Chain A
């Protein structure tokens, strides 16, 4: 199976900060990479698909980049509602796998 590793596991930041989360795949997955946001007690929400395509309704401060094995999720200016846990997911294989998550906390 393809292993997905996120870094950092947790991150403290302030409103207005620019934040970057990294996801690395154990083998090349081209651009088959999705990003999700999950708030406590809620289901995950799709933010980015195909590494860099913004899901409908998601604010433009979220962006994704990368291909092959290395990917990033960037939030250009953190808003209070962005404090959550973020997961990457590879859809290169039908046997999909998720990263372990990055918890974004308020500094």
Chain B
């Protein structure tokens, strides 16, 4: 059974770079059917997609965060990572990693959804 596990510092100082890693177990990150992504949730608020990556390294980012975000993949370790620079208190959130499954559905065509999630890790930005 595929599992995802986020790891990284729980406390980051303002203006510094937040770095998180998602380790994939029970399956290969190099499968052609999946993208891998990061989603965050500020305290008491909704979900915000940060960005996604394919095992080849192709990426998509949320335009509102694009200038500060870098997502990378390490297929040898079955991991992908998030770096968010110049953080402020507004970046305090639970950060989730998730698998995006791509399928071809006969009635609609190519489709994707987020079907496996990590448990999430809380990151607080504070001095």
- Asked if A1 and B113 sit within 8 Å, CB to CB, the answer is no
Q: How large is the interface on B (under 10, 10 to 19, 20 to 34, 35 or more residues)?
A: 20 to 34
Q: How large is the interface on A (under 10, 10 to 19, 20 to 34, 35 or more residues)?
A: 20 to 34
Point out the residues of chain B lying under 8 angstroms from A53, CB to CB: 105
Main secondary structure of the interface of B (DSSP, over half): strand
Q: In the bound complex, how far is the Cα of B119 from the Cα of A1, in angstroms?
A: 27
State whether the Cβ of B117 lies closer than 8 Å to any Cβ in chain A.
yes
State whether the Cβ of B114 lies closer than 8 Å to any Cβ in chain A.
yes
Contact with B along A38-64 (1 / 0, CB 8 A): 100011111001100101000000000
Q: A87-B46, A95-B62, A98-B48 are in contact. Are A44 and B117 (CB under 8 A)?
A: yes
Q: In the bound complex, how far is the Cα of B98 from the Cα of A46, in angstroms?
A: 11
Main secondary structure of the interface of A (DSSP, over half): loop
State whether the Cβ of A69 lies closer than 8 Å to any Cβ in chain B.
no
7 interchain pairs (CB within 8 A)?
Answer: A32-B108, A36-B114, A43-B117, A45-B117, A50-B111, A89-B114, A101-B47
Task: Please report A residues at the B interface, Cβ cutoff 8 Å.
Answer: 1, 30-32, 34, 36, 38, 42-46, 49-50, 53, 55, 87, 89, 91, 94-101
Task: Please report B residues at the A interface, Cβ cutoff 8 Å.
Answer: 46-49, 52, 60-63, 96, 98, 105, 107-108, 111-115, 117-120
